[in-house]
Chain A
């Protein structure tokens, strides 16, 4: 194929993904729903009980899209992670969401322990080891107001009238609960939430413990690939899925 044709195809893919990205206030289309298992297992056993606890729960493969580049000079990003496998279960007043996806590189480090003593009292300080590393991460986003009808907020972190909650997990820095009201407004609440992550045979498996969400709530997923220098809006994202 000639380069010109390739470019046209590449740009239409980009255009398409930016159209998906920009969609706001849309209802999830048919087929974009997630069945939620009602489990008799405790939240803790689903979170920490290993794969056996999830055996009976159906998997849905959710397609991932790539956000368009922020700058035209950005390193091009290929669609290395095409989908995420999702399982959800309700139990004990919690909603557990398991995300698993293939990622051949595990981008995570163990951060050095920072001593409790103030740095000025110590001869040795903790050093920055690498300034150019980014880490694998994943997130579950849902509307902060679950009673605001069936309209899903903008995928770009909601807007002023439709704030969103983001349960964010980072392979190096752990779980962080965030809130946002539109692109660029995401802020850490300082709270975290129970999460369990494992990486095995080129596969991440991350279980999020969320508060229970009523049927019909829309949720969306995001995955960041550290080795693709993903962070911020440079990531993989799904469209909204309605919880059954």
Chain B
């Protein structure tokens, strides 16, 4: 067990799918050779294929105390990098349309905004994903070289690039497919929860840049932190695929009140636009209780009362959303 645990809460009701977080992360961490296809932070449309496609269907995580490695996703699942023939069109004056090559067949957020149908109505929402910095990380357990470790001081899970030999057992074991192999270095890489920023008192780049202001960051064990309040006090945020057994430390406020046409104001549990079964698939059966709680809070405010939980979810300013505590997690050297 780590002394402290950094955690993130994302309110899915507020995500715009703008990918600002994705780009913030990419410019900061994965703009190097071999990292083109790596999205330590990605935002996918749900229901949908996800990135890499079908990652949620192929396996990984724990079952009865043993690891359940999945096959390795292939580049077809991530999508091959493509280039545009700008030179021919712009510099050589060839009268051809600017076309991508090789022909794109898959990619990050490939099925953007497709979503699913609930009877006659389309529905979708965005699911931003980073490594969950799990309490019981399957990736760490799978590495025969012990190259992956969970930082004692703040629970962040990182790969020691000196120890990693690129065996990719971690990728197979992670049920969220949040580790990527860098063919140039021959080593695997993952989200580092922006620990170099946290150590300087700066919040994660994805959270800092999010215009939807839906990301909350802090120590789960810090009673003052918004993540502690949302997850443990108000109990309105849940991990993704809890049955995979890794105990994620990224939590989601589920989409709780998108009304079906002509159904505004009535409960999501009574003719919901997003089928409850799909939310149970993602967040487990507890999602029902969470939605009930959220609806009760909403009702409170609609009747003129005040809801601490909803006030917090508005996340007006950075002080409300982020509690970065470098002084608390410092290691004594």
A residues neighboring B (CB under 8 Å): 70-74, 111-112, 114, 119-120, 124-132, 173, 183-184, 186-187, 231-233
Q: Judging by beta carbons under 8 Å apart, are A128 and B36 in contact?
A: yes
Query: Which one of B14-22, B64-72, B109-117, B299-307 is at the interface?
Result: B64-72
Q: B281 an interface residue at 8 Å Cβ cutoff?
A: no
In the bound complex, CA of A74 to CA of B36 (Å): 29
Q: Judging by beta carbons under 8 Å apart, are A187 and B36 in contact?
A: no
Q: If A111-B184, A184-B144, A232-B144 touch, does A131 touch B73 (CB 8 Å cutoff)?
A: yes
Given B31, B72, B163, which contacts A187 in the complex, CB threshold below 8 Å?
Answer: B163
B159-180 vs A: 1/0 string, CB under 8 Å?
Answer: 0001101111101000000001
Query: Which one of B74-82, B193-201, B256-264, B323-331 is at the interface?
Result: B74-82
A113 to chain B, nearest CB (A): 10
Q: If A130-B183, A173-B186, A187-B163 touch, does A125 touch B31 (CB 8 Å cutoff)?
A: yes
B33 to chain A, nearest CB (A): 4
Given A119, A131, A232, which contacts B181 in the complex, CB threshold below 8 Å?
Answer: A131
A75 to chain B, nearest CB (A): 9
Q: Judging by beta carbons under 8 Å apart, are B72 and A131 in contact?
A: yes
Q: If A119-B32, A120-B31 touch, does A114 touch B184 (CB 8 Å cutoff)?
A: yes
B contacts with A, residue count (CB < 8 A): 36
Q: B145 an interface residue at 8 Å Cβ cutoff?
A: yes
A231 to chain B, nearest CB (A): 5
User: Can you give 7 A-B contacts (C-beta < 8 A)?
Assistant: A70-B144, A73-B69, A114-B33, A125-B36, A130-B75, A131-B168, A186-B165
Q: Judging by beta carbons under 8 Å apart, are B167 and A232 in contact?
A: yes
In the complex, which residues of chain B have a beta carbon less than 8 angstroms from the beta carbon of A187?
Answer: 162-163
Q: Judging by beta carbons under 8 Å apart, are A132 and B72 in contact?
A: yes
Q: If A184-B144, A231-B167 touch, does A127 touch B34 (CB 8 Å cutoff)?
A: yes
In the bound complex, CA of A119 to CA of B36 (Å): 11
Q: B37 an interface residue at 8 Å Cβ cutoff?
A: yes
Given B35, B67, B75, B144, which contacts A125 in the complex, CB threshold below 8 Å?
Answer: B35
In the bound complex, CA of A200 to CA of B186 (Å): 26
Interface majority SS (helix, strand, loop, mixed), chain A: loop
A166 to chain B, nearest CB (A): 12
Q: B247 an interface residue at 8 Å Cβ cutoff?
A: no
In the bound complex, CA of A70 to CA of B69 (Å): 11
In the complex, which residues of chain B have a beta carbon less than 8 angstroms from the beta carbon of A112?
Answer: 184
User: What is the chain A residue whose CB lies nearest that of B145?
Assistant: A184
Q: Judging by beta carbons under 8 Å apart, are B68 and A131 in contact?
A: no
A233 to chain B, nearest CB (A): 7
In the complex, which residues of chain B have a beta carbon less than 8 angstroms from the beta carbon of A129?
Answer: 75, 80, 183
Q: B146 an interface residue at 8 Å Cβ cutoff?
A: yes
In the bound complex, CA of A119 to CA of B181 (Å): 18
In the complex, which residues of chain B have a beta carbon less than 8 angstroms from the beta carbon of A114?
Answer: 33, 184
Q: If A71-B67, A127-B81, A131-B183 touch, does A184 touch B146 (CB 8 Å cutoff)?
A: yes
When A and B form their complex, which 3 residue pairs have the shortest distance between CB atoms, in order from nearest? A128-B183, A126-B33, A132-B72
B222 to chain A, nearest CB (A): 35
Q: Judging by beta carbons under 8 Å apart, are B68 and A73 in contact?
A: yes
Q: Judging by beta carbons under 8 Å apart, are B31 and A128 in contact?
A: no
In the bound complex, CA of A130 to CA of B75 (Å): 6
Q: Judging by beta carbons under 8 Å apart, are B31 and A119 in contact?
A: yes
Q: Judging by beta carbons under 8 Å apart, are A132 and B184 in contact?
A: no
User: What is the chain A residue whose CB lies nearest that of B163?
Assistant: A187
Q: Judging by beta carbons under 8 Å apart, are B34 and A126 in contact?
A: yes
B237 to chain A, nearest CB (A): 32
In the complex, which residues of chain B have a beta carbon less than 8 angstroms from the beta carbon of A126?
Answer: 33-34, 184
Q: B202 an interface residue at 8 Å Cβ cutoff?
A: no
In the complex, which residues of chain B have a beta carbon less than 8 angstroms from the beta carbon of A128?
Answer: 34-37, 75, 180-184
In the complex, which residues of chain A have a beta carbon less than 8 angstroms from the beta carbon of B34?
Answer: 125-128
In the bound complex, CA of A126 to CA of B182 (Å): 10
Q: Judging by beta carbons under 8 Å apart, are B145 and A111 in contact?
A: no
In the complex, which residues of chain B have a beta carbon less than 8 angstroms from the beta carbon of A131?
Answer: 37, 72-75, 78, 168, 171, 180-181, 183
In the complex, which residues of chain A have a beta carbon less than 8 angstroms from the beta carbon of B37?
Answer: 127-128, 131
In the bound complex, CA of A232 to CA of B69 (Å): 16
Interface residues of B in 59-115 (CB under 8 A from A): 66-69, 72-75, 78, 80-81, 83
In the complex, which residues of chain A have a beta carbon less than 8 angstroms from the beta carbon of B162?
Answer: 187
In the bound complex, CA of A233 to CA of B145 (Å): 10
- The residue among B163, B180, B184 with the most chain A CB atoms within 10 A of its own CB is B184
In the complex, which residues of chain A have a beta carbon less than 8 angstroms from the beta carbon of B69?
Answer: 71, 73-74
Q: Judging by beta carbons under 8 Å apart, are B32 and A125 in contact?
A: yes
User: What is the chain A residue whose CB lies nearest that of B75?
Assistant: A130
B227 to chain A, nearest CB (A): 32
In the bound complex, CA of A125 to CA of B35 (Å): 8
